[in-house]
Structure 1
């Protein structure tokens, strides 16, 4: 399997799918998360859980991570060249990548593609961020000096308290989907507290894993900045994401902003009136 994965990186078998992020102030698509898939010649499309742990263990993570970043930047360049509205694209990184000259690699890749550094966001999990905190902070500072945005992913699942968080040079907090999926009063209070914490530190707050109108309405009510999840769209290939961008920009035929505003204003409709997951965007 390790040899096959190494070959996959060299043979362009890795592909990116993109999940839209929606701005709750405007209702428009404001960004995307690039998620890697392995288009295995025999097993079909494999999700990260099937090969990312192997990449970490075998030392392939840096090479695979660079491949993903390069592919994302090239796609961002194509969107810009086709006249689509600018949006921030986020890519997941590991602690190992961060400590292996990531800032230098990204600076070179940005020069080659001509992509605006502010359009690239790097997501580091909370657990990875608190490993060797001073080193992490120094590496993130290098990335932000280039102009790249940095975010803490899966926030709330690790040990990153206020003292740790205030020492990390980041731009975005992403609330872990486990808090969004649950509908208990305790989890709702945690979500509300994370939003308030993020804003008190001057950070944008993003909720992932949004699947219901109730979740969307709660997040909008409490000032969450951006959301992503199956309520809007599953991760899709670049060609499909391009169609979503065209159809659901403000004033476009999909009228996503009006739909989002209506849901947030009414705090969700009756259960039998809700669309299926993904219908808000994919149903145009």
Structure 2
């Protein structure tokens, strides 16, 4: 309880004290072995606690309402960084940013995204918002919000697919672009026969004309199974761990993710 209270208090000053940073993990096209985008992931290095896991501080940020300011910082930082890389001739790549349900349901979020895109001068097509399946608890409200983002040109991905509220009926009614297969399903490919479930998710995505991305790929066996069943985009330690911006820039320049996995990473 004391640690939770301390983290809650420290979170309020983390942005001002420059304790947050972003790391980037590439999304790879399996056919070309080339990077087509990246996911921006938040990290917090506290001077006393060291690295604090997002699994610990994000729920506290949501509970206290601080997720709005933190989420805006992540969005601004990712978009500005992507624009810098594009101006350097390194791209164009799409950057994916995770969005809390509380952010998504905030009436100001659409305006925040518009403002960030205008200030960073990043074209909306190069931003993807990753939203969890829990948005489907309120299908009408979610559909209305997603439709506005689609009109803006921002891409939408359903993250951690298969672990929550999705159904065929609901998915067909949402204006989304991508489904991400949750890492837990990929992990079990090497342990249990979960292949029928993954095949079904891939077939579902293809039938709905959605892109399909597998996350958490760590072995060649997992990669080969996904390729054989029609999933051609993914991310995971097999290619590269999430790395700092300067290391990721090196990765963009070489665009050889298999070699980059041996580089220093965070």
Alignment of 1:154-193 (within 5 A): 154-183=160-189, 186-193=193-200
Helix, strand or coil at the partner of 2:112? helix
The residue aligned with 1:240 is 247
Q: What is the alpha-carbon distance in structure 2 between the residues aligned to residue 201 and residue 11 of structure 1? A: 45
- 8 Å contact from structure 2 (residues 238, 261) kept in 1: no
Structure 2 gap ranges (5+): 1-6
Corresponding position: 1:218 with 2:225: yes
Corresponding position: 1:199 with 2:178: no
Alignment of 1:22-37 (within 5 A): 22-37=28-43
Q: What is the alpha-carbon distance in structure 2 between the residues aligned to residue 81 and residue 41 of structure 1? A: 34
What TM-score does the superposition give when structure 1 sets the normalisation length? 0.86
Helix, strand or coil at the partner of 2:15? helix
Q: CA deviation at 1:282?
A: 2.2
Q: What is the alpha-carbon distance in structure 2 between the residues aligned to residue 25 and residue 87 of structure 1? A: 17
The residue aligned with 1:281 is 260
Q: What is the alpha-carbon distance in structure 2 between the residues aligned to residue 116 and residue 225 of structure 1? A: 25
Q: CA deviation at 1:185?
A: 6.1
The residue aligned with 1:227 is 234
Structure 1 gap ranges (5+): 249-253, 257-278
Corresponding position: 1:119 with 2:126: yes
- 8 Å contact from structure 2 (residues 137, 165) kept in 1: no
- 8 Å contact from structure 1 (residues 171, 204) kept in 2: yes
Q: CA deviation at 1:280?
A: 4.7
Alignment of 1:78-117 (within 5 A): 78-100=84-106, 101-117=108-124
Corresponding position: 1:50 with 2:29: no
Corresponding position: 1:63 with 2:66: no
Helix, strand or coil at the partner of 2:194? helix
Give the aligned length: 255
What TM-score does the superposition give when structure 2 sets the normalisation length? 0.92
Q: CA deviation at 1:46?
A: 2.1
Q: What is the alpha-carbon distance in structure 2 between the residues aligned to residue 66 and residue 174 of structure 1? A: 23
CA RMSD of aligned residues (A): 1.4
- 8 Å contact from structure 1 (residues 20, 31) kept in 2: yes
Alignment of 1:138-149 (within 5 A): 138-149=144-155
Helix, strand or coil at the partner of 2:227? helix
